[in-house]
Amino acid sequence: MAPLAGGATGARAASAAFQVAFYAEGMRSASAADRPRASRETRTLPTFAPGAVETPFVISCYDELFTQDTTWAAHSHPCHELLWNERGASTAVVDARVWTVTPTLGLWMPAGTLHSGSAPAGTWLRASFVGLSGTVSISDVPVAVEITPLLRLLLERLGEEGLSARSRQVTEAMVLDVLTPSAHELLLNLPVSDLLRPIADAVREDPRDQRTLTHWAAELGVSPRTITRAFNAETGTSFARWVAAVRAQHAVGLLTRGFEVDAVAELVGYQSASAFGVAFRRTTGLTPGTFRAH
């Protein structure tokens, strides 16, 4: 093995190399079919229409640190919900749309919206439930919300013990005042047709998959134009941009777990960190560093 460079740069290079080797091996040996059943917990939650259950609060906060991979079956809440994470990345699914939720980019889920979700072990989830009485939803559909330092501090304050009624009232009002949809979101529209499902499954299983539109057309026995039209119709974007979106979502999950940018770039199919950075910014409007855990 070649000697590593010294100092902080060398330490990061060593860390990135280890992460690539360890995680790549995990992808080969720990497929979903191979994992022990006990490693994942599936939770079943009720389905509520908006306002179906009285919610005698303005904002109620909840958090949980998951010790195993966890999945939520489709459910809905009688109140609005703001999802975000203290640590790690999770997903929320509505129909064929998949959002990634992180410590810096949350998701507003309007009351009554049927959704499912998942979080890997180690994720520290936070959820703020917003009652319907006296509040107006920031959106009628799920929408990303930037978890700014101010919003984070306000939400954390609501979880403090001994907070006076007056302080809670003021803090809740401030939260509702700063809650706004974000210009950025980590959203993936899933194709649902039999034609595109093999492509979607393969790329989501391994974002390093380098098969091009031409390769897929040959494998599926159709023309590249047919696949292009199908992707535009089902996802609203091109094949190349859809692959970039899959890679970006996968990259966020690694970044929030503390992986080095160089390692993430390789693990999601890019030849260099600079190429990864350009593609990531083009897809999300944000830099990889936005999601990097420290």
Q: Report the pLDDT value the prediction gives residue 56, as an integer from 0 to 100.
A: 87
DSSP H/E element including 23: helix 7-29
pLDDT higher at 154 or 32: 154
Q: Where does the chain show beta strands of DSSP type E?
A: 40-43, 59-65, 69-75, 80-87, 90-94, 97-101, 105-109, 115-119, 124-130, 143-146, 187-189
Query: Per-residue pLDDT tens for 23-82?
Result: 444 444 434 444 444 588 999 999 999 999 988 899 999 999 999 999 999 999 999 999
Give the type of residue at 94.
V
d(CA 174, CA 183): 21
Angle between helices 197-205 and 213-220 (to 10 degrees): 130
Q: Report the pLDDT value the prediction gives residue 294, as an integer from 0 to 100.
A: 58
* 52 class by beta-carbon count within 10 Å (0-12 exposed, 13-18 middle, 19+ buried): middle
161 pLDDT more than 90: no
Name the nearest CA neighbour of 247 among 210, 217, 216, 221.
210
Average pLDDT along the chain: 88
Quick one: average pLDDT of 233-258?
A: 95
252 pLDDT more than 50: yes
Q: Report the pLDDT value the prediction gives residue 204, as an integer from 0 to 100.
A: 96
Q: Report the pLDDT value the prediction gives residue 13, as an integer from 0 to 100.
A: 54
Q: Grade residue 133 by pLDDT with cuts at 50, 70 and 90.
A: confident
19 pLDDT more than 80: no
Query: Per-residue pLDDT tens for 192-243?
Result: 999 999 999 999 999 999 999 999 999 999 999 999 999 999 999 999 999 9
186 pLDDT more than 90: yes
Quick one: average pLDDT of 81-93?
A: 96
Q: Grade residue 22 by pLDDT with cuts at 50, 70 and 90.
A: very low
pLDDT higher at 133 or 168: 168
Q: Report the pLDDT value the prediction gives residue 293, as an integer from 0 to 100.
A: 73
